[in-house]
Structure 1
Amino acid sequence: MDKRLLVLASGMFAIGTDSFVVAGVLGQVASSLGVSVALAGQMVTVYALGYALLSPVIAAAAAHWPRKRLLLAGLVIFVIGNVITAVAPSIGLVLASRLLAALGAAMFSPTATAAGASLVPPEQRGRALAIVVAGLSSATALGAPLGTFIGGWLDWRATMWFVSAIGALAAVGVAWRLPLIPTPPAVSLAKRLAPLTDARVLLTLATTWLVYAGLFTVYTYIGSSFDRATGGDGRVLAGLLLLWGAAATVGNLAAGKLTDRFGSRFIINASIAVAALDFALLPWSSASLITAVPALIVWGLCGWGLVVPQQHRLISIAPSAAPLLLGLNSAALYVGVSMSGVIGGAAIALVDRHSLGLIGAIFIVVALFVAEQAQRRIVRPQQLAGSASAGAA
């Protein structure tokens, strides 16, 4: 396997771990800093929203930077942000450091995927992208559970040191193994955002946003919402996250074959509908370990099985703009994740924390209707074209 691609995947692994591990140690953060779990949950909001908003800005502003320099700078800033989080004495500094880490992630992630594709011949680009993006999916299956286990064994600051360490190792790998990469043609911010004027694209992105806002409303506060199943034991929670991550990886891999066989519409609608039902039942299924296990497996399979068909739908709308559309889809996902911290925090203050699944299910159900609206917009031009052809004949 190409070691250059593995180096890029290692950086994605560090960034993905940082995205998902905070949920597993949120209770410890709140207790350590003397704040509510809802306020500590804004660590997720700041990081995800910072990443979503900064990614297109950085991509346009740093378009002329050498790629290797941009990748290294991103990882260095990412590590510094996490080191500050690990030593921060107050929630204010913790939140500021999360924004700094998000800046580093925004510099690295989009650049890494584009760099991975540029390192191989055109006929191998799909495989190259799969290897680089595998760093993110493996973070859900391994990085987040391991970080959560470290938090349960030591404390949450040790978890942030763990994230800093893997980020530093990835930076060493980039500096040592990655060659100089040609700088691609610059694309302005206006051009990057131009696809948002297409209603089909906007509705598809809205589907991603709503689904992941719903899914992560529970995930961000999973330590609190699943406390009956874990008994408050961080090691049990780490085991559940490991199971969730494994299911997410399987769902992500299986979604490609299923989408090719059944089409994106069927897989999108089926994934969303099953996830909505699963979340509606979480107030009861999260009450014990026996029922929490299958609930998390279904969640992982459906939640991450949605990514590929959503990408497929976007590419089918405008194949020539695929890189821009996939970047916007990633941003929409992170905007949804960022909203989850606020939504879940407000829900905990107003309703029982074990009812977060019902709140998440509402967003997921709305996403199903939005997905169908997107499908209708996509099919309509094809129907009109077919009618015009028939008329001409």
Structure 2
Amino acid sequence: MRSRLYPLAVGNFAIGTGMFVTAGLLPPISADLAISLPAAGQLMTVFALAYAVLSPLLAALTARLSRKRLLLLAMGIFVLGNVLTALAPTYPLVLATRVIAAAGAAMFTPTASGVATALTAPERRGRALALVMGGLSVSSAIGVPLGTWLGTAMSWRATLWLVVGLGVVGLAWVAAVVPDARIPVSGRLKERFTPLGDRRVLAVLATQLLMFAAGFTAYTYIGSLFDLPLPAVLWAWGLGGIVGNQLGGRLTDAYGPRRMILASLAASTLFMALIPVANLALPVALGWAFLWGALGWLMAPAQQFRTVAAVPDNVSIGLGLLSSAQYLGLFVAGLAGGAALDWYGRAGVIVLATGLGLAALLFTVATYREAAISSRESVPVR
């Protein structure tokens, strides 16, 4: 069964590389398009906002499509968007093409998670979600450092062509391997937002938004926070993310999502506060980046597991809302981080990221109590 999930992970790998690599390409993008570094950072912001807004809308419009056909359509649109970005001659056109790429990603990632859930037994769901979403963490370990190096050595547009190639591979593999899983999906837009009437769901989404706003305030502008070789730091962070994502799936299956989420939030907040220490020497930075990535990504499978448990009858809708919250967090990170960098420099970015992380931790402690966990959220004990 795992072999059927690998193409979904590859698709997420292409999407993660296409979005996250922007953080490592701000200088060449800025120079090529004659814009400031914060303006270049808005490429990720626009992508994130488009994803968040379009995810529920496109899910409603495509509800009648088979899940496999939707995956293929989504990856095709993502590839097209990146082709257009690589060819766009001006900053406004580049921003517009990021919206097209985001539309494809907004359809693919939640659908991939829903298909993984449908193809997997409940007791292995955490590991299945970790495998599929692991494409995002693997992209940060391999795709982003490679794309950053390529963009620095040649051109940021060459990196976009790399993303196009990855997307084509993902599309072809999905077409060849992934079965057409049957998942009941409503086509009514109103029903896409029905879970928002559940306080448990709102708590999950708020945690997701705050968590990603915190982490990506630092990550989006990481090139401005370090005086050390950036590809090496990004590689260490991504390698840690792979370990954390996979370990997080197993630990979620064993101990439940609550412990993973709280531990991850506490640890990642601490590591963001330690950025000035990490910048002292490359070996310190590499160890710091690995641990930040590993501990931060622990909670990704746990949050998905928590969402599935909260809305077991609307898994696709719930995961779509979770993705929207995640990308709203990235949108907040891009805007707020850029403003902090403009006004207060690197210290402002670090303080803002740490403050958002602390807010996420305190909010989750206050809202995610054992008594509030649904009885449907049953996790097998080792």
Q: Is the 8 A contact 2:244 2:298 kept in 1?
A: yes
2: CA distance between counterparts of 1:120 and 1:252? 18
Match of 1:335 in 2: 328
Aligned pair partner of 1:348 in 341, 347, 355: 341
1: CA distance between counterparts of 2:312 and 2:265? 24
Match of 1:59 in 2: 59
1:338-386 Cα offsets, whole Å, 9 max, x none, are 211111110111011254221100101111111022124x625889xxx
Aligned pair partner of 2:371 in 371, 379, 382: 379
Match of 1:310 in 2: 303
2: CA distance between counterparts of 1:338 and 1:223? 18
1:178-208 Cα offsets, whole Å, 9 max, x none, are 5555574435332221121222321221111
Please, which runs of 5 or more residues in structure 2 have no aligned partner? 376-382
1:37-87 Cα offsets, whole Å, 9 max, x none, are 101111101111211221121111111123333222222221121111112
Q: Offset of 1:136 from its aligned partner?
A: 2.3
RMSD: 2.6
Match of 2:73 in 1: 73
- In the TM superposition, what are the counterparts of 1:103-114 in structure 2 within 5 Å? 103-114=103-114
- SS in structure 1 of the partner of residue 186 of structure 2: coil
2: CA distance between counterparts of 1:353 and 1:76? 38
- SS in structure 1 of the partner of residue 368 of structure 2: helix
Seen in structure 2, the aligned counterparts of structure 1 residues 76 and 320 have a Cα distance that, compared at 3 Å, is: closer
2: CA distance between counterparts of 1:141 and 1:214? 20
1: CA distance between counterparts of 2:374 and 2:70? 41
| Counterpart check, 1:271 vs 2:264 | yes
- SS in structure 2 of the partner of residue 352 of structure 1: helix
Greater CA deviation, 251-260 or 291-300? 251-260
- SS in structure 2 of the partner of residue 60 of structure 1: helix
| Counterpart check, 1:256 vs 2:255 | no
Aligned pair partner of 1:295 in 285, 288, 297: 288
Q: Offset of 1:158 from its aligned partner?
A: 0.7
Q: Is the 8 A contact 1:52 1:332 kept in 2?
A: yes
Seen in structure 2, the aligned counterparts of structure 1 residues 44 and 270 have a Cα distance that, compared at 3 Å, is: same
Seen in structure 2, the aligned counterparts of structure 1 residues 351 and 187 have a Cα distance that, compared at 3 Å, is: same
Please, which runs of 5 or more residues in structure 1 have no aligned partner? 231-236, 384-393
2: CA distance between counterparts of 1:151 and 1:381? 46
Greater CA deviation, 39-48 or 121-130? 121-130
Q: Is the 8 A contact 2:307 2:318 kept in 1?
A: yes
2: CA distance between counterparts of 1:180 and 1:223? 42
Q: Could you tell me which amino acid in structure 2 is paired with residue 36 of structure 1?
A: S
Q: Could you tell me which amino acid in structure 2 is paired with residue 239 of structure 1?
A: A
Greater CA deviation, 173-182 or 365-374? 173-182
Seen in structure 2, the aligned counterparts of structure 1 residues 339 and 164 have a Cα distance that, compared at 3 Å, is: same
Seen in structure 2, the aligned counterparts of structure 1 residues 288 and 49 have a Cα distance that, compared at 3 Å, is: same
Q: Offset of 1:129 from its aligned partner?
A: 4.2
Q: Offset of 1:214 from its aligned partner?
A: 1.0
Q: Offset of 1:3 from its aligned partner?
A: 4.9
1: CA distance between counterparts of 2:374 and 2:159? 51
Q: Is the 8 A contact 1:285 1:292 kept in 2?
A: yes
1: CA distance between counterparts of 2:253 and 2:184? 31
Question: May I ask how many residue pairs the two structures share in their alignment?
Answer: 375
Q: Could you tell me which amino acid in structure 2 is paired with residue 238 of structure 1?
A: P
Identity of aligned residues (%): 44
Q: Offset of 1:265 from its aligned partner?
A: 3.3
Seen in structure 2, the aligned counterparts of structure 1 residues 66 and 262 have a Cα distance that, compared at 3 Å, is: closer
1: CA distance between counterparts of 2:208 and 2:277? 26
Seen in structure 2, the aligned counterparts of structure 1 residues 258 and 112 have a Cα distance that, compared at 3 Å, is: closer
Match of 1:92 in 2: 92
Q: Could you tell me which amino acid in structure 2 is paired with residue 245 of structure 1?
A: G
Q: Is the 8 A contact 2:127 2:250 kept in 1?
A: no
| Counterpart check, 1:229 vs 2:222 | no
Match of 1:234 in 2: none
2: CA distance between counterparts of 1:264 and 1:285? 29
Match of 1:246 in 2: 239
TM-score (norm 1): 0.86
Seen in structure 2, the aligned counterparts of structure 1 residues 318 and 358 have a Cα distance that, compared at 3 Å, is: same
Seen in structure 2, the aligned counterparts of structure 1 residues 312 and 105 have a Cα distance that, compared at 3 Å, is: closer
1: CA distance between counterparts of 2:184 and 2:116? 13
Match of 1:23 in 2: 23
Seen in structure 2, the aligned counterparts of structure 1 residues 122 and 192 have a Cα distance that, compared at 3 Å, is: same
Seen in structure 2, the aligned counterparts of structure 1 residues 37 and 287 have a Cα distance that, compared at 3 Å, is: farther
- In the TM superposition, what are the counterparts of 1:55-204 in structure 2 within 5 Å? 55-118=55-118, 128-178=128-178, 184-204=184-204
1: CA distance between counterparts of 2:373 and 2:72? 44
2: CA distance between counterparts of 1:270 and 1:11? 29
Q: Could you tell me which amino acid in structure 2 is paired with residue 229 of structure 1?
A: L
